[in-house]
Amino acid sequence: GSRTARDGSRDTNASLGYRKDLQDHILQSVSVTALTDTYGVGLSSLANFRTDAINGDGFIQRSSFNDNFTGGLNLDSTVVVGGQRMALTSQHQGRGAGMIVDVESDIDGIALRADDLSGGSSALRPGRNFIPLTAYKNSSVSFDFEGNHAPAASIEPARTRYHLNKGGVEYRKVYVMKTLTVLGRLVDPQGKPLKGHHVINHASRGVSEVDGFFSMEMHAGSPTLEVRYADQLLCQFRLDTAKHRSENNVLMIGDLRCSPDTLADASFTRQEAS
């Protein structure tokens, strides 16, 4: 190309640029441009970046006229306060309200998704997060695992409601617990099957069938079960998961002998096929 030089003469110039867009990285894009003209060679570079707390762009360039360097940095972030909590977020607040969400998990690198029933979705990671919400809506947010391959875990709570005025911010805490599927049989001290009893863990609950067998999800970090019938606590068990056979995240614990007011290890009884 050509342009007018500083002294009024014609300045012929040429430029060559390169741009790279990045995925799943703090840097969103990086570009470099080289310019040659009557005075020499000039260089410039531009980078866009984003984190959970802040986003922006920065540039640096060298003049072809006098080789001087110049640069600049633009930053954008929002401080959110609500529910006696504070968060720093890089998300644009165009919906009028929001929710601070703390995620606690015993699974490393867990990725969640928060879906607003009124529209919109946000990614969640362990630690502090912020979800933009629609103001003046009586709606709810559901929490689920990101992607198509959910781990063996439970999310508590799986859904939460909100109703916020413009500028309103609420706070929630979400727990993600690694779970095991437990298979066992509930019997009385004489070995007779107990049916219709509720077997309860932090992660879920199950009901024993006519033959005493039950299946349920159990929090792997808290392997305790309690048995209730008609709202009465009958017995409790603390399982040693290392002592029982496990296949494909299924723990087979055999017979649980339920005695009132006891806290005992589950005993594994191998059943021989008749």
Give per-residue pLDDT as tens, 88-132.
888 776 678 999 999 999 888 899 999 999 888 899 999 999 999
Largest interatomic CA distance in the chain:
107
**Residue 262: what pLDDT?**
54
Is residue 233 predicted with pLDDT exceeding 80?
A: yes
254 closest CA partner among 224, 212, 226, 219: 212
pLDDT tier at 176 (50, 70, 90 boundaries)? very high
- The pTM of this model reads 0.67
Q: What one-letter code names the amino acid at 127? A: G
Comparison of pLDDT for 156 and 91, the residue scoring more: 156
Mean pLDDT of 12-34: 90
Mean pLDDT of 228-246: 86
pLDDT tier at 40 (50, 70, 90 boundaries)? confident
Residue 150: other Cβ atoms inside 10 A: 10
**Residue 51: what pLDDT?**
85
Residue with tokens 């050509």: 2
CB 123 within 8 A of CB 112: yes
What is the percent of the chain where pLDDT is above 90?
42
The Cα 246–Cα 254 span in angstroms is 12
The Cα 123–Cα 15 span in angstroms is 40
**Residue 196: what pLDDT?**
93
Is residue 65 predicted with pLDDT exceeding 70?
A: yes
Query: pLDDT tens digits, residue range 41-52?
Result: 999 999 999 888
How deeply is 239 buried, as exposed, middle or buried, from its count of CB atoms within 10 A (0-12, 13-18, 19+)?
A: buried
Is residue 205 predicted with pLDDT exceeding 60?
A: yes
**Residue 47: what pLDDT?**
94
pLDDT tier at 264 (50, 70, 90 boundaries)? very low
Phi, psi of 207 (to 5 degrees): -125, 130
Is residue 243 predicted with pLDDT exceeding 70?
A: yes
Question: What is the C-alpha radius of gyration for the chain, rounded to an integer number of angstroms?
Answer: 30
CB 68 within 8 A of CB 62: yes
CB 226 within 8 A of CB 200: yes
